[in-house]
Amino acid sequence: MSTSHPGSRSRSQRIIIRSLLVIFMSVQTLLVPAAHAAMIGTDQILAEESRADHQARIASVLERQDAADALSRFGVDQDRLQERMDRLSDAELAQLAQQAEDLPAGEGALGVLVFLLVLLILLDLLGVTNVFPAIQSGR
Amino acid sequence: MLCLTRTAWRAVTLLAALTLLALTGCQSRAPLPATDSTAHQVSDVPFFPQEDYQCGPAALATVLGSAGVQVSDQTLVDEVWLPERQGSLAIEMVAAARARERLVYPVRNQDQLFQSLEADLPVLVMQNLALPIRPRWHFAVVTGFENRGNTVILNTDTREAATMRWNRFVRTWARADYQGWVILPPGQLPPHARPLHLVQALEELTGSAGPAAAAPYWQQAATQWPQDYLLQFALGNHLWGREDTASAIQAWERAARARPEAFAPWHNLALAYAGQGCNDLAEGAWQHANQTDASRERLAQLRERLDATVPATATCPPDNL
C-alpha cells in the first residue's frame, strides 16, 4: 500500500511541516497589518476630540452669569478650575458634560448649583474654597 | 471644635435644598416640545403586535423594516431576549441592528426626537412604565405626533398608532434615561447628526459589520462635512482601510487644511505619500508635522518610519497644500 496516508509520514516530516506552517502564519500576521498599524487610528483622535467636546460643554455652563456669580461667591478661581479640569479622567468629564447638557437653557439656578457642587467635589476643590470654611481651617 | 460660619450655614441650606430637588426631580420635568409643524406621521412603518419579551424584538423589527431590512420579530427573539434577565438589553438591540449593516444613531432629547420624526425616521425608544425603584422596561416605536407635539403616536405592544399625551410619554422616557435610537437606511444620516457622534457610530458599525457596511454612510458624511477635521481624518482612515489610497490622501489633506496645527493628518499623509514614492510631498508633510506640538518621540518615530518606507512606483497627486 503506497498511497499517501497521514499516518505514513515520518515523525520528523510532520514536525517540519508543522513548524513551516507556524512560521508561515506568524510571518503573514506580522506583515499584513504592518502597513496599516503605522497610521494613526481613528479611535485615538476620537478620544481626544470627545474630551475636548466635553470640556467645551462644561465651559459653556461655567460661562453663564449665574454660574460665574456662584463661583465667585464660593471664592473659586477660574484659572485653578481649568487647571484641575485637565486632570479629570475621560469618564468623569463625560459624566459632567452629560449633566451640563441636561441643564435647562434659560433658568434653573438650582440646577447650576448642583452642577457646580458636583464639579467642585470631583475637582477636589471644596477644601480650598470658602464653601466649607470648617474643612479649610482644619488643615 | 467646629465653628459654623454664615457661609457654612449657607452650604447646609444648599444641601437641604438639593436633597429636596433630588426627591422631586424628574417628576416635574415635562417641557413641551418645540416643533414648527402641527402634526406628522412617518409613512410605511411596519407593525408587529407583541406582548411578550418587553416588546423588544417587535420594536426592533419595526425600525429595521423602516430602514429596509425585512425581518420578523420572532427571528429577533433569540438575538435580543435574555431569558435569565427576563428582558431585552438595549445594548443587544443596538448590536442586532448593526449586525444587519445599518447605522444606529442615538436620540437623546425631545428636539432630536421631533427632528427625526419630521425626517421620516421612526424612533425606537426605551420606557420605564413603572417606578424607578421597581422598573418595568418596555420598548416602543414613536411613529409621529399630532396636536403640535402635545400627543405622540406610537406602535406599542399590540396597538398600532396608539396615541399618548406628551407629558405622560416623556416621564416614562425620562425614567429610562432618555434612551432612543434611529436606524438609518444605507446612505442616510439623521438630521441631528454631529461629526463627533457620527464618527463614533460609524466606527461601531465598522466594528460589527465591516467597513463595506459603513461605506454608503461615509460617502454622505464626506459631502455633508467637507471641512470638518475629525470627520475628514476618520474618512481618510476608512478609505485607507479599504485600500483606496488616492481618496484617503484627499480626505487627510482636507483634514490637514481644516486644522493645520494637528499632528495626525500630517503623520498619515507623510506615510501615505512616502509609500507612493512621492518623496517631495512626504517631506512637505513632515515639515508641517514638525511644526505641530507633537512630542519628540512621536516625531522621531515618524521620521524613522518615513526613512524605512520602501516606495512604490510614483504617481503623485499635485501638491496643493
> pLDDT tens digits, residue range B266-299?
999 999 999 998 999 999 999 999 999 999 999 9
Contacts of B299 in chain A (CB under 8 A): none
pLDDT at A24 over 70: no
Question: For A89-124, how does the pLDDT look when each residue is reduced to its tens digit (9 = 90+)?
Answer: 888 888 888 888 777 655 566 777 778 877 877 777
Q: How confident is the model at residue B17 (pLDDT cuts 50, 70, 90)?
A: low
The C-alpha angle A88, A94, A96, rounded to 5 degrees, equals 80
Work out the mean pLDDT of chain A and round it to a whole number.
Answer: 72
pLDDT at B4 over 50: no
A49, A104, A131 member nearest B196 (Cβ): A49
pLDDT at B8 over 70: no
ipTM: 0.78
Question: From residue B282, how far is each of B249, B276, B288, B319, B320 by CA, in Å?
Answer: 12, 9, 10, 10, 13
Nearest to B162 by CA among B154, B152, B151, B170: B154
- Rounded to the nearest angstrom, the minimum Cα separation between A43 and chain B is 8
Say how far apart CA A92 and CA B65 lie, in whole Å. Answer: 38
Contacts of B170 in chain A (CB under 8 A): none
**Grid coordinates in use for B104?**
444606529
Say how far apart CA A33 and CA B152 lie, in whole Å. Answer: 50
Q: Does A45 touch chain B (CB under 8 A)?
A: yes
Contacts of A113 in chain B (CB under 8 A): 14, 18
Contacts of A128 in chain B (CB under 8 A): none
Long-range contacts of B72-76 (CB under 8 A, 24+ apart): B72/B48, B73/B48
Chain length of chain A: 139
pLDDT at A1 over 50: no
**Cβ atoms within 10 Å of B176's Cβ, excluding its own:** 19
A38, A49, A131 member nearest B11 (Cβ): A131
Residue B24, pLDDT score: 45
A42, A50, A117 member nearest B234 (Cβ): A42
Q: Does A41 touch chain B (CB under 8 A)?
A: yes
Phi, psi for B123 (deg, rounded to 5):
-115, 120
Range in A75-84, B7-16, B52-61, B108-117 with the lowest mean pLDDT: B7-16
Range in B13-17, B34-38, B166-170 with the lowest mean pLDDT: B13-17
Q: Does A118 touch chain B (CB under 8 A)?
A: no
Chain length of chain B: 321
Range in A9-23, B54-68, B100-114, B193-207 with the lowest mean pLDDT: A9-23
User: What pTM did the predictor assign?
Assistant: 0.78
Range in B25-29, B35-39, B143-147 with the lowest mean pLDDT: B25-29
Q: Does A36 touch chain B (CB under 8 A)?
A: yes
Work out the mean pLDDT of chain B and round it to a whole number.
Answer: 88
Residue B73, pLDDT score: 87
Residue A65, pLDDT score: 80
Contacts of B266 in chain A (CB under 8 A): none
Characterize the bridge pairing of strands B81-82 and B87-88. antiparallel
Higher per-residue pLDDT: B147 or A85: B147
Higher per-residue pLDDT: B160 or B10: B160
Cβ <8 Å between B305 and A35: no
Average pLDDT over residues A63-67: 81
Residue A96, pLDDT score: 86
B11, B21, B240 member nearest A39 (Cβ): B240
pLDDT at A136 over 60: no
pLDDT at B143 over 60: yes
Q: Does A117 touch chain B (CB under 8 A)?
A: yes
Which residue in this structure is represented by grid cell 501638491? B319
Range in A36-45, A99-108, B107-116, B135-144 with the lowest mean pLDDT: A99-108
Considering chain A, what percentage of its residues have pLDDT values greater than 70?
Answer: 65
Q: How confident is the model at residue B33 (pLDDT cuts 50, 70, 90)?
A: low
Class of residue A7 by CB neighbours under 10 A (exposed 0-12, middle 13-18, buried 19+): exposed
DSSP labels, A26-95? HHHHHHTTHHHHTSPPHHHHHHHHHHHHHHHHHHHHHTSHHHHHHHHHHT--HHHHHHHHTTS-HHHHHH
Question: For B46-79, how does the pLDDT look when each residue is reduced to its tens digit (9 = 90+)?
Answer: 998 887 777 888 999 999 999 999 998 888 888 8
